[in-house]
Amino acid sequence: MKLNSYILPNDTKDNMRNKLSETRLDQREDKPELGFTLCANSANVIRSRGNPSGESDKIYIDPNACTGDEKFLGGYHTHPKIDSDASANDLVHCGRSKLACIGGELDNKIKCYIWKDMQLSSEDMGKLADGYISGHRDPKYKKNFDCIDDFEPLYYEEEDLKDLNRGLKKLESDLHDLERDNIMISPIARIQLSMVRTIRDRRVGTLTASIKDKSKKYYNEVEIK
């Protein structure tokens, strides 16, 4: 299978499927994201490198995991309990990597998001960072800056929703403990909890639609069969 000019061989696809299977078999409540770095050798064949294990909603993909003369392309990671659609955090790098591949537990699919433009070199990344901090944006990196401007607010909304979910989990757990101890819970508390869940679900729906819309401008989405 080809991803632009790169070849995705069966053994790398098998490694992706194996990580997704491992995630699906994990019975822990807060099971971690699993994955590896994606590197290209001199023949443009994509290889998996490293074996990182992250947290329930994030993972670090190490660019230095590539060996010898291999080129860093990006990473593959799993999404526990959700589908294979990319998050804002997966796409906010905007050219630092060529590929962001994701295996979703919920839909049992693997998708790769391919940056449409040239991948940035280390030197380019430095200039991009300098321009971002100083405000003097080199027109050469216009697409990268536009991408960051589009995805950065979505990234912060995503992080805010993660905090909200953690708070909801804590509240639900506390209410469960009260019920277990036969302590009466105010109906108003239940109504308020239901309202917060509804607001959360609406925000998630809006965020998901925005990420899908913005991703089409900068990335090609390919399902890995």
Three-state secondary structure along 43-82?
Answer: CCEEEEECCCECCCCCCCCCHHHCCCCCEEEEEEEEECCC
Structure tokens at 157: 């909304």
Q: What is the pLDDT of residue 77?
A: 98
Note down pLDDT in tens along the chain; length 225 residues. Answer: 999 999 999 999 999 999 999 999 999 989 999 999 999 999 999 999 999 999 999 999 999 999 989 999 999 999 999 999 999 999 999 999 999 999 999 999 999 999 999 999 999 999 999 999 999 999 999 999 999 999 999 999 999 999 999 999 888 888 888 888 888 778 888 888 899 999 999 999 999 999 999 999 999 999 999
For residue 84, the SS3 value is coil
Backbone region of residue 4 per phi and psi (left: phi > 0; alpha: psi in -120 to 50; beta: other values)? left
State the DSSP code for 208. H
Angle 125-119-34 from CA coordinates, rounded to 5°? 90
Alpha-carbon span 215 to 209, nearest angstrom? 10
Find, among 75, 105, 93, the residue nearest to 132 by Cα.
93
Q: What is the pLDDT of residue 65?
A: 97
Q: What is the pLDDT of residue 138?
A: 95
Q: What is the pLDDT of residue 121?
A: 94
Buried/exposed code over 108-121 (b: 16+ C-beta within 10 A; e: otherwise):
ebbbbbbbeeebbe
Q: What is the pLDDT of residue 189?
A: 81
Q: What is the pLDDT of residue 190?
A: 85
What is the DSSP code string of 108-157?
TEEEEEEESSPPPPHHHHHHHHHHHHHS---GGGHHHHHHHHHHHHHHHH
Q: Are the beta carbons of 114 and 181 closer than 8 angstroms?
A: no
CATH code of the domain occupying 2-145+216-223: 3.40.140.10
Boundaries of every domain in the chain: 2-145+216-223
Q: What is the pLDDT of residue 215?
A: 98
